[in-house]
Every structure is written in structure tokens, then in C-alpha cells.
Amino acid sequence: MSDTIVSLPDQSTARIPKVNFITKENGLLSWLLTGDHKRIAILYMISITFFFFIGGAMAGLIRLELLTPQSDLMATDTYNKVFTMHGIIMIFFFLVPSVPATLGNFLIPLMIGAKDLALPKINLLSWYLYVAGGILAIYTMATGGVDTGWTFTVPLSTHYVNTNVLTTGLAVFIAGFSSIFTGLNFIVTIHKMRCPGMTWFRMPLFCWAHYAASILMVLGTPVLAITIVLVALERTIHIGVFDPATGGDPILFQHLFWFYSHPAVYIMILPGFGVISETISTFSRKRVFGYTAVAFSSVAIAVFGFFVWAHHMFIMGISNYSMLVFSLLTMLVAVPSAIKIFNWTFTLFKGSITFETPMLYTFGFIGLFTIGGLTGVFLGAAGTDIHLTETYFIVAHFHFVMVGGMLMAFLAGIHFWWPKMTGRMYPEKISQLAAVVTFIGFNLTFFPQFILGTLGMPRRYGAYPPEFQVLNVFSTAGATILGVGYLLPILYLTWSLKYGEIAGNNPWQATGLEWQIQSPPLTENFAVTPIMDHEAYDYEWLENQKEKEVASVG
Amino acid sequence: MNHISPVLWQFFVKWLTNFPLFPPEASKLAPEMDALLFFEILVSLIGLTIVLLLVTTFCIMYRKGRHPVAVQIEGSTILEATWTIIPLGLFLLMFVWGSLIYFRVYTPPANAMNIYVVGKQWMWKAEHPGGQHEINSLHIPTGKPIQLTLISQDVFHSFSIPAFRVKREAIPGRYTSVWFEATTPGTYHLFCTQYCGTNHSAMIGDIVVLTPDGYKQWLAESTSGMSLAQNGERLFASLSCNACHNAKPDARGPNLANVYGAKLALASGGTVLADDAYLRESILNPSQHITQGYAPIMPTYQGQVSEEGVIALVEYIKNLSSNYRIEQTLNTTDLLPEGEGKAATGGAEQKAAPAKTAPQGVVKQ
């Protein structure tokens, strides 16, 4: 008798709960007019996946063009449009909303024990703005595209190109508001909606990371919006802010643009940090090493992140004093990232480690982000920046951080919370394979680019000297493998929606509040408002809970 | 392999045996830059190795099969302090080292030879002081510091010579500069690295490093007969600058002799150093900078003079060292022997006999 009581109910007889946020209401309208953060997260997930594949197709075209030294696949103008749209779509329509708008949207209320985000209608509005911006971006592409580069550098964008600068700018402007609303919602929610007992230092680190990123979104994005408006005014009525011929200064644009666009990389990466903290803790069955240090390093990154923008301008003729200040602050902002890496590593120490897919992606993240971060220091040191900036070294550096870091974290998170979102498991073996394929493909694609950059190959070149071809061939070959690595999850995750194993409430035996409720959750998340009576990542508490449950079943 | 695909075989043999992994070091500065680069690579490799070793070791030692129950650890102040302070120290070292190199790249020595470079969609135009100009190539001698004064006529461009480890943006509306001293004769890549529109990737050229003798010869072969300053003098006369700037006591414009490098008192109060950038501004936006004692009557030359023209004018004004020269300009547009250039601009002054040919381009070292 006693043995049968201790083992948990058999998974094969498990059912997905009849009432959950997916089945609660039916019909397209119930989705399009929903206020439920979980449904909005799903809407976001579908839309950003769509944009990811458009941006990915562009990346494929770029790599194909670079297979040969000549500019032979596309006309140079087409190539310029393709890399511009690749950048714009991937940054504004994929990376910025990726983790926050999908996983963050879905999980923050669940993690802090709230029924929804503080402003559900604003949340829905943010998705509509995102979609409006996205449709405008697609329209722009279909009607001739834009070839300014995602950086919209003036005076090229204001006086010299003849393409759809205004509509693209408008698309980014609108998408920017979607990001502001998401950030605002998170800040208010985390401040006001935590359940009883959920103090700041009991929150999962995922929430800390999102809080830091939200501050950046709310304070940084309006500057981008203003900059885009100024570009539009300069282009249409020549107000003379940026054009030296009318008394403006093109360097001013660089300051304004990077004042947003540098913090933007932290907007993109911080939520990824949040995911990694969750997965690494869960799969090593251990509290994150130095919880407070990791929490505060997120905040430190957010604060310092605002004061390093001019490191994008070292070779543009900023003053020596500016260079000193910005180079120093850049070095300082690298430290919290190093702290995080070591804290995650030491989370493994004396843990009990398993190697499910999210953990494999997490290891990928740690390796690639370490490389991406360290090569950032090459660029923060003003001397080597002169040689390496504006070359493929930069391209490799930010792809290691954004794709190697953020996208790995995103995939880790998607796999980790997939059972919570859908109630079903993804197939383990093939997804482990996908994680490994992605890692190999990624390194083959982007590592040669560090060498290319050191050799001096400039970025945004459709044609290049023939001696660079071998490394470019490696890179293109890697991109092909990487493409497979990204296609696989789409296929098997879709498959798992119908055929995946039933997950149950807590397949990973994780400690977060989101794992203590049914999968998929109810529309109102918690039947009873939970009370947080333990620290985050408290595995002993979880053990006790289980024993209690077993006892009550018995 | 050979029987599978000859093309593939060719690929392996030809390419994999012969492709560069590191750029040539062809300037005095390159080894200094590379020392820092290698230090950074070394630190990165050590850091990465430590992280990977730790992760691998922990994964092996504490995998579930071997270590079924995790031991909860809160953290460790000593460990956390270690991995805060050691990276911080290394990063600060790189900051100081990097800044020193930065100052070196962007602080030209006083005896550097100045070459003007104008970037425009989609070419580089270099103007040597002797009047030689070239497009998408730059000929320079070894063993002599060369300063480039860069400006763009339209959008941002960036002048990059990987073999020298230098790069500088060419910006519309302002002069920027960079310097280097080539050490090894040869031909090296010149790239525009700032995206500048349709033919960005065609805005490339050759840096041809010659021996000092070879450079002399090249100068002699490529001379157009007039130095840059002489071009400026012509322009000065043809734009009737000398109607006002004629050095007479009743002149309506300030005397320009010896103005370069001087501190000028402005009508708005304050003083300004008359450098290249100031001279350029005063030609294109004269009403912004009225010298004390003069009326704001000078029209703008924005749109009337190209950047090359402005450079020639600036070079002419730089070399104006006496009223006599201006009076001569006033009287005739004939090209008179050019005066000695300023020591500060150094370089290839021309011995100058009017509009004659061959020995003119000879550099006086």
C-alpha cells in the first residue's frame, strides 16, 4: 500500500485540464479582443515567429550573396535593402519584443502571483501597435524597401536615398510605442501586483531582469521616437537639425540614435539573462548562486547601460575626454555581465544536473555569450576599437551576443515553459539534437567573421576582396546548418501541440509559482491568491510540498 | 576525394592552403595595436577556458547520476568579490592601454606631412600638398609620418586601412584627422567602412606604400604643374576674395597673412584659434564668425566652392606669410613662385617655377 501511495499519479492517464485559458473562450474574436496576458503572449509569439522567419530569410540571402566575392546574386541596391530590412526586422520586430512580450508577458503575473498584468488593455494595445508597425514594415518592403541600414544614418537617410525612409521610420516609431507600453506594464505590475509575501528579494530573477529591461524600454525608446521624428522632419521640410549645410550637426544624430540603441541591446539581452537564471537553477536543482548579486547586476547593467552610448562613435571625432569617459563606463558595464556568468556557472556547483533541452540551450548561451561579451571589451578599449569597428568583427560580436546569447536564451525559455503554455511536452530527443545543431551552426557561421573583421573586411559589403572568400564560405555553410537548427523547433513544437505528451503541472519540478498551478493555467491564473512563504528557488520547500500532497492523496 | 568532385577538391587544395588569418603589419603603429589585441585575445581565451572548464567539470561531477541530491549554497562573498575584482582590474588595464593607443592614433606628430582626403559617393579623392591628386588610391612614402585631413562632401564615409590599423570617419561639414607612418612598401587595402549608399562596397582603393625615392619619382610623374596652394591662389583670385582681403589699410576684410594658427578676437567677444576647421567655416558660414572690427558683409560660399576648392583655399591661406604675397595675388593671377610653406605643414613643398613641368614635383626633405 505505502509504495503505491508515494508514486505520483501515472502520466499516461493524465489529461489536460478541461478549463484553461485556451479553452475558456472560442473564436477568433475572443483572441483578438482578449485582455488575458497569456493569450496576448501567444499572439505575440505567433507574430514574432513570423517576423523571425522573414528576417531569417533575409539573412539567408545575405549569406548567399557573400558566398562569392563579386556582387552577383543581387544588385548592390537590393543587397543594401536586404541587410537593412534584416536589421530592422530582427531588432525592432524580433529581438526587442522576443522574450519580454512572449515569455515575460506570459510569466510575470504567474511568477509574482497576480491575476494579470496591471494594464491588460494597454497590453493588448501594445500588440496591436506591434502588428501595425510590422504590417507597415512589410508594406515598406513590398513597395521598394529601404536602404539606409537599420541605423538610419544621416545625412544618408535624410538627403541621399530615395527609398521608403519615412514609412520605415513610422513602422519603427509605432513598434517603439508597443515596447514602451510593455515596459510600463511590467514596471507597474511588479511594483503593485505582487502577491502577499512576495517581497522584492523573493521574486524570481526572471522578474528582476524584466524590471531592469522595462526601465530601459520606458526611458530609452522615446528618444528613438524623437530621433525618428527629427529624421522625418529633416527629410521632408529640411528643418536643419542634422544637415551641416543648414547649420545642423550629423554627429547629433549619432548621439541621439545611440542613446536609445545602445540601451536597446540591454533591452534585448536582459530578459535573456532572466531566462537563463530560471533554467540553470531548475536543471541543477539549486538556488541561483548569489541571488542578490545577480539581481543587482541586472539593475547595474540597466543604469550603466544608459551612459555608454558614445562608444559607438570613437572614430567619429568625439573629444578625447568623451572617449575616456565612455570607454571607462563601457568597461564598467562589462563587469556585471562577468559576475552573472560566474554566478550561473557556480550555480552548477554541487547541484544535481540534468541535461534536458532548455539546459543545453543554456550551456550554449553561456559559452556564446562569454565570447560575445569578451569581444565587446575589444571594442570598448578605444585603441583596438579603431581597427575593429565597422568591420565583420562588430558583426560577429553582436551576433554572438544577440543571436548566440539572446536567441539561445529565447529558445531555452520557449522549451522550458512550453509545457506550461500548452500543457504538452516537446519531444525531447529531437529538440536536444536541434540545440546541438544550432550551437554548431552558430559557431561555424559567426566565428569566421571575427577573423574576417580582424583582417579588415568592412560590414555591409556586398562585394569583397577575393582573399576573404574561404572564411565567407565557412560562414555561409554555417548559416545553412543554423537555418536547419531554427526550422526544427518550429516543426516539432507545432507537432507537439497535438501529439506531445501531457506535461502536468510541474514537469521540471521547478519552484516558481507558475509551476504550482495547472498547465495550461486558468484565465485568472490562480484559483486562490497564493501566499509566498519561502524564498525563490527553494527546492526544500518544494520537497515538503510534494510530501504534503502525497500525504493528502493517501 | 578527388574522384567525388574535382571542384570541391580544388576548393580544399587551393583555398585551405592559402588564405590569410591576420592582416599584414605595415605601419609603425600596427605592432603596438596588435600587442593590445593579442593581450585581449589572451585574456579572452583564458576567461573562456576557465568558464568552459568549470561548466564541464561541474557537469561531470554533479550530474544527477553521480550527485543525486543538490547541496543548497547561498553564495560566497569571497568568490563573488574575486570574480568582480579580477575582471574589473583586467578591463581597467585594457581601458588605459586602449586609451593610450587611441591618443597615439589621433594625435599627429608636429612634423607630419598633411594630405587632404575628400570622401564622396563613391570615391576617395586625395590631394597632396604638391597638387598631385588621385582617386581611390593613395601613394605615400615609408618612414615619414603622414597626416590625413578628412572631410566628406556628402554622407558619412570612413577611411580604413587595415594594414596600418587606422580608421577615421570622413564627416560632412567638419575636418577629422588621423596619422600613420608606413614601414613596409607594398599595396594595401583601402576600404570605406561606413555604409554610404548604393556603391558602398565599391568605395575601395589601394594604399601604395613606396620607398622615399619611389615616392619622389611618383610625385614628379603625377604633378599637375600646380601645387595645392597655387590652386587655392587661383581660386582666391577668381572668387574675388582679394577684393576685400587685400591687406590694404582700408580693406573691408581682415588681412589673411599669418592668420593660420593665430588666435583671433571675434566681434561677439572671445577668441578663436584659426585652424583648418575655422578657416573652412569662415568661408562657408562667414556670418557666424565675424572678426572684431569688421562688418558682417561677406557672402557665404556654401554651394559655390566644392570641398576640394575649400581645401585649396585653406592650404593657400595656411601658406600666406606676408602681405607681399597677397598684393601679388591682387595684381595678377599669374602664378608666382610659391613662398616657403609653414614648417607645421611640412612635407612636400614645391620648389615652384611657374607652370613649368618636370622637376617640379621634387620633394624637398
pLDDT at residue B328, as a whole number: 65
In a domain? residue A26: no
Q: What is the pLDDT of residues A392-407, one digit of tens each?
A: 999 999 999 999 999 9
Rounded-to-integer distance, Cα A344 and Cα A415, Å:
19
In a domain? residue B282: yes
Q: Compute the residue count for chain B.
A: 365
The CATH number linked to B317 is: 1.10.760.10
CB contact under 8 A, B201 and A76: yes
Which three cell numbers mark A16? 489536460
In a domain? residue B12: no
Among all residues of chain B, which has the CA nearest to that of A253? B156
Domain identity same for B327 and B247:
yes
In a domain? residue B356: no
Rounded-to-integer distance, Cα A143 and Cα A131, Å:
18
In this prediction, residue A10 has a pLDDT band, given cuts at 50, 70 and 90, of: low
List, in sequence order, every residue forming a beta bridge with A294; answer none if it has no partner: none
Among all residues of chain B, which has the CA nearest to that of A81? B198
CB contact under 8 A, A386 and B47: no
Domain that holds residue A378: 34-553
pLDDT mean over A125-143? 95
In a domain? residue B49: yes
Q: What predicted TM-score, i.e. pTM, was given to this entire model?
A: 0.89
Domain identity same for B117 and B181:
yes
- Residues of chain A contacting B79 with CB distance shorter than 8 Å: 342, 346
- Residues of chain A contacting B68 with CB distance shorter than 8 Å: 352
CB contact under 8 A, B189 and A465: yes
pLDDT at residue A437, as a whole number: 96
In a domain? residue A11: no
Q: What is the pLDDT of residues A373-395, one digit of tens each?
A: 999 999 999 999 999 999 999 99
In this prediction, residue A9 has a pLDDT band, given cuts at 50, 70 and 90, of: low
CB-based contact, B165 to chain A, within 8 Å: yes
Number of domains in chain B: 3
CB contact under 8 A, A451 and B100: no
Phi/psi of residue A37, each to 5°?
-60, -30
Domain that holds residue B52: 30-65+75-107
Provide the shortest C-alpha distance from residue B113 to chain A (in Å): 20
- Residues of chain B contacting A360 with CB distance shorter than 8 Å: none
Domain identity same for B139 and B50:
no
- Which 224-283 residues of chain B touch chain A by CB within 8 A? none
Domain identity same for B326 and B263:
yes
The CATH number linked to B140 is: 2.60.40.420
In a domain? residue B357: no
pLDDT mean over A488-500? 94
Among B222, B250, B283, the domain boundary falls at B222
pLDDT at residue A480, as a whole number: 95
Rounded-to-integer distance, Cα A129 and Cα A512, Å:
31
Among all residues of chain A, which has the CA nearest to that of B107? A320
In a domain? residue B263: yes
Which three cell numbers mark A36? 488575458
Residue with the three cell numbers 508514486: A7
In a domain? residue B348: no
pLDDT at residue B343, as a whole number: 36
Which three cell numbers mark B249? 589699410
- Residues of chain A contacting B52 with CB distance shorter than 8 Å: 367
SS3 for chain B is CCCCCHHHHHHHHHHHCCCCCCCCCCECHHHHHHHHHHHHHHHHHHHHHHHHHHHHHHHHHCECCCCCCCCCCCCCHHHHHHHHHHHHHHHHHHHHHHHHHHHHHHCCCCCCEEEEEEEECCEEEEECCCCCEEECEEEEECCCCEEEEEEECCCCEEEEEHHHCEEEEEEECECEEEEECECCCEEEEEEECCCCCCCHHHCCEEEEEECHHHHHHHHHHHCCCCCHHHHHHHHHHHCCHHHCCCCCCCCCCCCCCCCCCCEEEECCCCEEECCHHHHHHHHHCHHHCCECCCCCCCCCCCCCCCHHHHHHHHHHHHCCCCHHHHHHHHHCCCCCCCCCCCCCCCCCCCCCCCCCCHHHHCCCC
pLDDT at residue A188, as a whole number: 97
pLDDT mean over A175-203? 95
Domain identity same for B130 and B89:
no
- Which 278-307 residues of chain A touch chain B by CB within 8 A? 284-287, 289-293
Q: What is the pLDDT along chain B (365 residues), one digit of tens a residue?
A: 556 677 778 777 777 777 788 999 999 999 999 999 999 999 999 999 999 999 999 999 999 999 999 898 888 889 999 999 999 999 999 999 999 999 999 999 999 999 999 999 999 999 998 888 899 999 999 999 999 999 999 999 999 999 999 999 999 988 999 999 999 999 999 999 999 999 999 999 999 999 999 999 999 888 877 888 888 888 888 888 888 888 777 888 888 888 888 888 888 888 888 888 888 888 888 887 788 888 888 888 888 888 888 888 888 888 887 766 666 665 554 444 444 333 333 333 333 333 333 333 333 33
Among all residues of chain B, which has the CA nearest to that of A244? B173
Of A371, A382, A467, the CB nearest to B48: A371
Number of domains in chain A: 1
- Which 285-344 residues of chain B touch chain A by CB within 8 A? 285, 302-303
Question: Among A235, A332, A386, which would you mutate to test the B interface (most chain B Cβ atoms within 10 Å of its Cβ)?
Answer: A386
**Taking the CA of residue A419 as centre, how many other CA atoms within 13 Å lie in the half-sphere pointing to its CB?**
23
Determine the Cα angle at A373 with ends A368 and A377, to 5°: 145
Of B51, B67, B73, the CB nearest to A366: B51
CB-based contact, B96 to chain A, within 8 Å: no
Provide the shortest C-alpha distance from residue A542 to chain B (in Å): 13
Domain identity same for B194 and B243:
no
- Residues of chain B contacting A161 with CB distance shorter than 8 Å: 197
Domain identity same for B202 and B264:
no
Rounded-to-integer distance, Cα A535 and Cα A539, Å:
9
The CATH number linked to A221 is: 1.20.210.10
- Residues of chain A contacting B40 with CB distance shorter than 8 Å: 374, 377-378, 381, 384
CB-based contact, A543 to chain B, within 8 Å: no
In a domain? residue B10: no
pLDDT mean over A475-486? 95
Domain identity same for B232 and B311:
yes
pLDDT mean over A474-494? 95
| Spatial contact of A213 and B141, defined as CB atoms under 8 Å apart | no
Domain identity same for B324 and B237:
yes
| Spatial contact of B184 and B209, defined as CB atoms under 8 Å apart | yes
In a domain? residue A110: yes
Of A320, A341, A459, the CB nearest to B103: A320
Query: What is the C-alpha end-to-end distance of chain B, expressed in Å?
Result: 60
Domain identity same for B157 and B248:
no
Question: Among B153, B166, B194, B310, which would you mutate to test the A interface (most chain A Cβ atoms within 10 Å of its Cβ)?
Answer: B194
With 0-12 / 13-18 / 19 or more C-beta atoms within 10 angstroms meaning exposed / middle / buried, residue A5 is exposed
- Residues of chain B contacting A461 with CB distance shorter than 8 Å: 191, 200-201
Of A315, A378, A458, the CB nearest to B169: A315
Of A250, A349, A382, the CB nearest to B62: A349
CB contact under 8 A, A540 and B72: yes
Among all residues of chain B, which has the CA nearest to that of A341? B51
CB contact under 8 A, B95 and A328: yes
CB contact under 8 A, B160 and A380: no
Domain identity same for B260 and B290:
yes
For chain A, give the percent of residues with pLDDT over 90. 86
Domain identity same for B293 and B320:
yes
CB-based contact, A460 to chain B, within 8 Å: yes
Average pLDDT, chain A: 92
- Which 77-136 residues of chain A touch chain B by CB within 8 A? 77, 80
pLDDT at residue A4, as a whole number: 42
In a domain? residue A315: yes
